[in-house]
């Protein structure tokens, strides 16, 4: 009898030694589907130009380095200074011995920058979202989430016991429907949660209208500002400022890992009671190490820079509007908008990959996005602009796009 068992066919009988074989099969199916992701190795700091492992210098149009702060001299100097004054690491979570004066300073500075009462730091925005919902909402409550929200929001919501609704992307009527249903089910508290800016399309959430809907339905509003903090709005405070509802968002989550220097770290900003409870109960905060002192020191310097001058976000905005106009004039279809994320629509996944590969040969580093990252048949190149791009860089980029687009028959 025993000899008849075939462990390869009966997964319940698989042995530990089948484990790696199973993973190899899974990896092969990812490759076969054309979805295997490789990592391009850089040898230089992040910047307008980067050198890849083969020694070539290319114009970089795919970083979240919106303000160019990833390699800004004042930011690097502040990180060095914090290393000297506060050491390299704390080897502790916050509530044991991982809180320095600079952590408290940064939390207060972030809260004031975002128009909130208090803020709490996390090792990443992924953790801020992952540890947000479970401590705040229970079975009696409802969370209502945009269907295109970031993976970390989806995971965070999964971890909480609240009832869940998903509304159609940026669709206020559908949001109203969800809120009405939640009310009909007797939800105690209702929390609506959305990305401020959606990273695949550069869509900017209509926070003014969403706020009004939330007010009509007596709901709280939370926004993930990862692609907005530092440069959206006249003073760079974020999507809420851009949409005229600064100071009117109940919960803001965001990252230090994009525009604000691009190292790592995340935060939640909200009313004091919210932040106090997160410090008591939020698991990624309680059970994960404190943010490193050099990142904290550098982030304070970033806020000094941004509060002292809007030059960087102004430059980013000028670069964005120049590039959006020029690339459209070159014959490409882009998703209309005003965000430095500029999706250049190719539709066909293979063509998008060919375009990215040809552009790299022409010295322009961009990445193609296709299913499942974006819907089937919606393949695109996502360009991200930065304040460190010079006019000559943008002209070079448009010329390279034009040449590659003509060669591939994408434009005329």
Ligand X SMILES: *Cc1c(COP(=O)(O)O)cnc(C)c1O
CB of 126 vs ligand X, minimal distance in Å: 3
**Binding to ligand X by residue 257, rule CB under 6 A?**
yes
Closer Cβ to ligand X, 203 or 401, answer by number: 203
**Binding to ligand X by residue 195, rule CB under 6 A?**
yes
Among 227, 242, 313, 382, binds ligand X (CB under 6 A): 227
Taking each continuous run of H as one helix and of E as one strand, the counts in the chain are: 16, 15
* CA dist., res. 74 & res. 302, Å (int): 8
- Residue 296: Cβ-neighbour burial (10 angstroms; 0-12, 13-18, 19+): buried
Q: Which stretch binds ligand X (CB under 6 A): 95-103, 123-131, 186-194, 398-406?
A: 123-131
The two three-digit tokens of residue 7, written as one number: 């462990």
Indicate which residue of 72, 258, 335, 389 is catalytic. Answer: 258
Indicate which residue of 70, 145, 152, 199 is catalytic. Answer: 199
- Strand pairing partners for 58? 50
Q: Which stretch binds ligand X (CB under 6 A): 219-227, 234-242, 336-344, 371-379?
A: 219-227
Q: Which stretch binds ligand X (CB under 6 A): 3-11, 120-128, 357-365, 371-379?
A: 120-128
- Residue burial 52-82, b: 16+ Cβ < 10 Å; e: rest: beeeeebbbbbbbbbbbbbbbeebbebbeeb
Give the total residue count for the chain.
412
Q: Which stretch binds ligand X (CB under 6 A): 124-132, 276-284, 312-320, 323-331?
A: 124-132
**Binding to ligand X by residue 66, rule CB under 6 A?**
no
**Binding to ligand X by residue 146, rule CB under 6 A?**
no
**Binding to ligand X by residue 124, rule CB under 6 A?**
yes
Among 114, 142, 214, 226, binds ligand X (CB under 6 A): 226
* CA dist., res. 31 & res. 90, Å (int): 41
Beta-carbon contacts of residue 206 (< 8 Å; ≥ 6 apart): 170, 172, 243
**Binding to ligand X by residue 224, rule CB under 6 A?**
yes
CB of 75 vs ligand X, minimal distance in Å: 17
CB of 222 vs ligand X, minimal distance in Å: 12
According to DSSP, residue 91 is labeled -
Contact between 171 and 182 under an 8 Å Cβ cutoff? The reply is no
* CA dist., res. 50 & res. 201, Å (int): 25
Q: Is 199 a catalytic residue?
A: yes
Residues that bind ligand X (CB under 6 A): 124-126, 129, 150, 152, 195, 199, 224, 226-227, 255, 257, 266
Q: Which residues are catalytic?
A: 199, 227, 258
């Amino acid at each position: 009898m025993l000899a008849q068992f075939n462990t390869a066919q009966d997964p319940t009988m698989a042995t530990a030694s089948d484990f790696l074989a199973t993973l190899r099969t899974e990896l092969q199916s990812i490759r076969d589907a054309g979805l295997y992701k490789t990592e391009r190795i850089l040898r230089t700091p992040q910047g307008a130009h980067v050198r890849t492992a083969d020694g070539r210098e290319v114009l970089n149009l795919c970083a979240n380095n919106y303000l160019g702060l990833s390699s800004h001299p004042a930011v690097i100097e502040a990180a060095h200074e914090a290393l000297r004054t506060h050491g390299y690491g704390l080897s502790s979570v916050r509530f044991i011995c991982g809180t320095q004066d600079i952590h408290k300073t940064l939390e207060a500075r972030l809260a004031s920058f975002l128009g909130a009462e208090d803020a709490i730091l996390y090792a990443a925005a992924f953790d801020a979202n992952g540890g947000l919902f479970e401590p705040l909402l229970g079975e009696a409550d409802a969370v209502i989430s945009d269907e295109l929200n970031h993976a970390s929001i989806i995971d965070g919501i999964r971890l909480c016991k609240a009832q869940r609704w998903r509304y159609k992307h940026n669709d206020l009527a559908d949001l109203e429907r969800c809120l009405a249903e939640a009310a009909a089910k007797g939800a105690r508290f209702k929390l609506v949660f959305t990305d401020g800016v959606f990273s695949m399309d550069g869509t900017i959430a209509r926070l003014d209208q969403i706020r009004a809907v939330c007010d009509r339905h007596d709901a709280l509003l939370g926004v993930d500002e990862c692609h907005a903090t530092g440069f959206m709005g006249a003073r760079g405070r974020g999507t809420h400022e851009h949409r005229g509802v600064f100071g009117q968002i109940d919960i803001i989550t965001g990252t230090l890992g994009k525009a604000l220097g691009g190292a790592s770290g995340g935060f939640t900003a909200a009313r004091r009671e919210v932040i106090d409870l997160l410090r008591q109960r939020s698991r990624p905060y309680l059970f994960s190490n404190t943010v490193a002192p050099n990142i904290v020191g550098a982030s304070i310097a970033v806020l000094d820079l941004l509060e002292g001058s809007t030059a960087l976000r102004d430059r980013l905005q000028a670069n964005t509007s120049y590039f959006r106009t020029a690339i459209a004039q070159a014959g490409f279809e882009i998703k209309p908008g005003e965000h430095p994320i500029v999706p250049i629509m190719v539709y066909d996944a293979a063509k998008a990959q060919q375009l990215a590969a040809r552009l790299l040969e022409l010295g322009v580093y961009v990445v193609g996005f296709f299913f499942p990252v974006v819907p089937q048949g919606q393949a695109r190149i996502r360009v991200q602009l930065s304040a460190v791009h010079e006019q000559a860089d943008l002209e070079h980029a448009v010329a390279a796009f034009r040449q590659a687009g003509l060669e591939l028959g994408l434009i005329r």
